[in-house]
A and B are shown apart, each in its own frame.
Chain A
């Protein structure tokens, strides 16, 4: 190990300074988790930092699989329905496999859901510029009102896995007609989770790489150090040199 490690050093410390303790302290101060064991006259000290970092690579690549699964689910089971609603009008929400909503108005299975345009408001800032749009809708199922709510930009109304988003509006007499999208996308959650897992995995892999330092203290005070680090431990060479210098300084003080 000491002959082939990428980073090696050799120090001679007085036994009175207790080299194993000095090395342990220096490693712990740098965030290494340290364990040591005696082997005959030798003392082995091993410090590890970010030991579980390799798991992050697994996390990142698992995220790719989850993302793929999410995309497949979105495309296989997702559907979108564009709903044009005059003021007060009620329309059926139809399920059509696939994403081309333009064809769905005349075809598809009835989802059992109906949606009514109960009003539309343009929200304005104090200076008169448009701050948002608010469509009030009533959802019904089996002839009974199921949900009464608002669809705003960036705030879809969700009912039984179907999200209603606001697409457009147009003047209609003294009121407004609105165009809503009814979207059912069972893969979206997986895609979002996969993306966040990927970010987590990449962040850990690139910023918290695994590093280990192995010290062997011989009976006469000779301290041999060997350092190993993931290739993404960008500054490890400098850190290893600083550790060696500090162990030397403290041990010979």
Chain B
């Protein structure tokens, strides 16, 4: 599954780079086509995995990483259609590839399909994780746009007001979903353990992520936090997202913290 995903993603990235550097319309069309094919392939594989396992593919970090990558591509395609601009593709797809690579490095037992753990058998799990996937996908796109803004510097063909506007739009798309993810996570925790918030490391970092993006949304009127500064904030925000997703389990293991999110 991973090899073909990488090939497709790699092909799409190359086409996007050619489009970005040459400005050729044809290359842009190929790039968009390759992105759609990659997304459709991932969708089909995730559906198949879900059918094989008998549950939505949202039950461990391997499945989450695949869905995360899928969401980055999906949100990017939505924004590309709405923005009618493909310049960000090369930057965003690299992040999708990074996340897909994380999936590929998971242990074999995590990659194998398995029945749901008892604690994960809840409709609130599906909602909680799916909303997180959507939010993270939007933040991935925002970070890709931020990288584009920083790399593009003052080149008008790469950076500019439109890019900044689209970055804000991606953040604004993801933020309500992150909010819903935290809320539904709390509802799930209340039903499972009798407490909606327990300062578990994962919960704490979800709150840090939420506060960071809240900050990004609230610095909008300040001139000094526009352009490259905003780009830096969105990239740092995605760093927090990645840490919350992949870094916290590592931290829990190394420092031996107590956590309810051991799956």
Contact = CB atoms under 8 A, between A and B. Distances in A.
Interface of A: 80, 99, 123, 125, 127, 129-133, 153-156, 163, 165, 167, 181, 183, 185, 188, 191-192, 195-196, 198-199, 202-203, 206-207, 231-232, 234-235
Nearest to B131: A199
Contacts of B220: 231
A125 B115 CA distance: 8
Contact of B191 (A125, A129, A132, A155): A155
A131 B118 contact: yes
A191 B187 CA distance: 9
Contacts of B248: none
A199 B184 CA distance: 11
A206 B218 CA distance: 13
Contact of A206 (B121, B122, B173): B173
B55 to A, nearest CB: 11
B176 interface: yes
B183 interface: yes
Contacts of B194: 80, 156, 163, 165, 181, 183, 185
A192 to B, nearest CB: 6
Contact of B179 (A129, A133, A156, A195): A195
Contacts of B173: 206-207
Given A154-B191, A195-B183, A234 B121 contact: no
Interface stretch (B43-51, B164-172, B235-243): B164-172
A97 to B, nearest CB: 16
Contacts of A130: 117-118
B82 interface: yes
Chain A at the B interface: SS class: mixed
Given A199-B180, A202-B176, 12 more contacts: A99-B195, A123-B118, A131-B116, A131-B121, A153-B121, A154-B121, A154-B191, A155-B191, A192-B196, A195-B182, A198-B179, A203-B176
Interface residues of B, number: 33
B246 interface: no
Smallest CB-CB A-B distances: 5 pairs: A195-B183, A183-B194, A202-B176, A206-B172, A165-B194
Given A206-B173, A234-B169, A153 B118 contact: yes
A231 B165 CA distance: 10
B179 A165 contact: no
Given A203-B176, A206-B172, A188 B114 contact: no
Given A156-B194, A234-B168, A196 B115 contact: no
Contact of A165 (B124, B168, B192): B192
Interface in B119-178: 119, 121-122, 124, 165-166, 168-169, 172-173, 175-176
